[in-house]
């Protein structure tokens, strides 16, 4: 029986996946600034025409790689954050986020290169797209569990996530990442806990 011919949509998806996969490998190993479009298509086993048919250029491939990494990282952290909201464990999601940021490809692509390649504004917008909603949900769960938040979950989520991203950047560029990680985790946990206090039942009923 002859093999089934792939549909146009399947061929398109396969070509895009090959380019994104090649970009992910090269960007992680060499850094975005040191990867050319020629290297990208050679790694993918494709032509420049295929690259520019599916993407506007190398930076557009980088954007797709960054989004893929963000989606994977968010999927890893979401269940940890959900469980921590139920158990009131602040350290677990902080540790999970920093753990993900210590992976070489995440550190290189998402933390070091993405703000430069995409610009600070777009980098922040994509980070928020994948992580802000789950953080808001976690803060809402803490409020429902009886914690007094020093502001709305929406505003607090932006502030807390900004601190977390800054901590990850500090670790990524530190001379001693191990020591920086330990300091950053303790500081983030302390800041999170300081802003969330149990509600006094007497005050709730007064």
State mean pLDDT over 15-25: 97
State mean pLDDT over 191-206: 60
Kindly report the CATH number assigned to the domain that includes residue 140. 1.10.357.10
The total of structural domains in the chain comes to 1
Q: Please report how many Cα atoms fall inside a 13 Å half-sphere around the Cα of residue 85, on the Cβ side.
A: 17
Which carries the bigger pLDDT value, residue 195 or residue 68? 68
Strand, helix or coil for residue 147: strand
pLDDT of residue 60: 98
Q: Which of 46, 36, 57, 58 is nearest to 14 (CA)?
A: 46
Whether residue 38 lies inside any domain: the answer is no
> pLDDT-derived band of residue 4, with 50, 70 and 90 as boundaries?
low
Q: Is 90:84 a contact under the CB 8 Å cutoff?
A: yes
Is the pLDDT at 206 greater than 50, yes or no?
A: no
Whether residue 137 lies inside any domain: the answer is yes
Q: How far, in whole angstroms, is CA 69 from its chain's centroid?
A: 7
Is the pLDDT at 118 greater than 70, yes or no?
A: yes
Whether residue 42 lies inside any domain: the answer is no
Whether residue 17 lies inside any domain: the answer is no
Whether residue 68 lies inside any domain: the answer is yes
Whether residue 110 lies inside any domain: the answer is yes
State mean pLDDT over 21-44: 97
pLDDT digits (tens, 9 = 90+) for 121-159: 999 999 999 999 888 988 888 788 777 777 888 998 898
Q: What is the pTM of this model?
A: 0.84
Q: What percent of the chain has pLDDT over 70?
A: 91
- Host domain of residue 118: 63-196
> pLDDT-derived band of residue 3, with 50, 70 and 90 as boundaries?
low
Whether residue 87 lies inside any domain: the answer is yes
Q: Is 46:90 a contact under the CB 8 Å cutoff?
A: no
75-79, 136-140, 185-189, 202-206, range with the lowest pLDDT: 202-206
pLDDT digits (tens, 9 = 90+) for 62-115: 999 999 999 999 999 999 988 887 777 888 989 999 999 889 999 999 999 999
How much is the mean pLDDT over the chain?
87
Q: Is 123:169 a contact under the CB 8 Å cutoff?
A: no
Q: Which helix (H) or strand (E) element contains residue 198?
A: strand 197-198
Is the pLDDT at 51 greater than 50, yes or no?
A: yes
Whether residue 205 lies inside any domain: the answer is no
Please tell me what DSSP assigns to residue 148.
E
Is the pLDDT at 196 greater than 80, yes or no?
A: no
């Amino acid at each position: 029986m002859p093999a089934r011919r792939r549909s146009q949509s399947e061929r398109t998806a396969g070509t895009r996946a090959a380019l994104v996969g090649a970009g992910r490998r090269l960007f992680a190993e060499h850094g975005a600034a040191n990867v050319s479009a020629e290297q990208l298509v050679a790694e993918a086993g494709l032509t420049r025409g295929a690259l520019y048919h599916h993407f506007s250029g190398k930076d557009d491939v980088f954007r797709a790689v960054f989004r893929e990494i963000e989606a994977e990282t968010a999927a890893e952290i979401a269940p940890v954050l959900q469980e921590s909201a139920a158990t009131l464990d602040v350290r677990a999601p902080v540790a999970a986020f920093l753990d993900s940021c210590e992976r070489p490809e995440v550190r290189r692509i998402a933390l070091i290169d993405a703000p430069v390649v995409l610009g600070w504004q777009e980098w922040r917008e994509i980070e928020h797209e994948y992580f802000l909603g789950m953080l808001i949900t976690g803060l809402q769960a803490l409020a429902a569990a009886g914690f007094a938040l020093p502001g709305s979950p929406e505003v607090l989520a932006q502030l807390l996530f900004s601190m977390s991203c800054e901590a990850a950047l500090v670790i990524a560029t530190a001379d001693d990442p191990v020591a920086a990680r330990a300091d950053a985790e303790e500081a983030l946990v302390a800041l999170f806990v300081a802003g969330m206090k149990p509600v006094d039942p007497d005050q709730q009923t007064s």
